[in-house]
Chain A
């Protein structure tokens, strides 16, 4: 069974640009959640998608958005990048929700310069 795949693995962007990250969940999993991991703030929940609908959202500004497609693949977009957005962005897939067993991808390392 293939795991959660995130692309790209590494990304360097300039302040003010926007970026789109991709996540392919485990086959059969309908819930995809996104997280930001930084040394200072740790792992923080961004949002969760289920059946193409955003079901839950963490405390992040509107510059952070996402979507989910009919095949459960998900994308996360960050607009008007700031230096503080530099982080490891992780997605996790689960069969039903963040309240059940979740499998993480290896993440996308975003560096904003």
Chain B
């Protein structure tokens, strides 16, 4: 009930393409769903987050799509750039705890 399943583990996308990372959760008490980006040697940085009262949130090239009934949410990176190459983590929080996905290593080919 406490897991957040993230896929794929790794992803290779051509420059200019769309990168899509998916996450699924089980606990319906989760009410905050952030995505973090982590570069080697750095701590995770918040990219974008969504709450379950909206189905989509867009910030620049980054979009979260949220499907409450399916208990799934995804990150779309439009016009992917080599600088987007990093590890991405989804997470789900219920206020008293936060559970992270295992991460997706994204590599954008120049």
Q: Do A and B bind each other?
A: yes
State the A residues within 8 Å of B (CB): 4, 33, 42-45, 55-56, 58, 90, 92, 97-107
Alpha-carbon gap, A103 to B45, bound state (A) = 7
Least CB distance, B97 to chain A, in whole angstroms = 6
Are A106 and B43 in contact, CB atoms less than 8 angstroms apart? yes
Given known A-B contacts A42-B102, A42-B103, A43-B100, A99 and B43 have beta carbons under 8 A apart:
no
How far in angstroms is the closest Cβ of chain B from A102? 6
B residues with a Cβ closer than 8 A to A are 31-32, 34, 36, 41-46, 49, 89, 91, 93-103
Q: How far is the CB of B44 from chain A (nearest CB, A)?
A: 5
Question: Which B residues touch A103, using CB under 8 A?
Answer: 45-46
Minimum CB distance partner of A43 in chain B: B100
**Total CB contacts across the A-B interface at under 8 A:** 53
Verify B98–A45 contact, CB threshold 8 A: yes
Complex contact B43–A45 (CB within 8 A): no
Given contacts A42-B100, A43-B100, contact A99 B46 (CB under 8 A): no
What's the minimum C-beta distance from A78 to chain B, rounded to whole angstroms?
19
Q: Is the CB of A98 within 8 A of B93?
A: yes
| Cβ contact within 8 Å between A99 and B95 | yes
* Minimum Cβ distance to chain A for residue B38 (Å): 8
B32 proximity list for chain A (CB < 8 A):
99-100
Given contacts A42-B101, A42-B103, contact A56 B43 (CB under 8 A): no
Q: How far is the CB of B30 from chain A (nearest CB, A)?
A: 10
Report the separation of the CA atoms of residues A104 and B100 in the bound assembly, to the nearest whole angstrom: 14
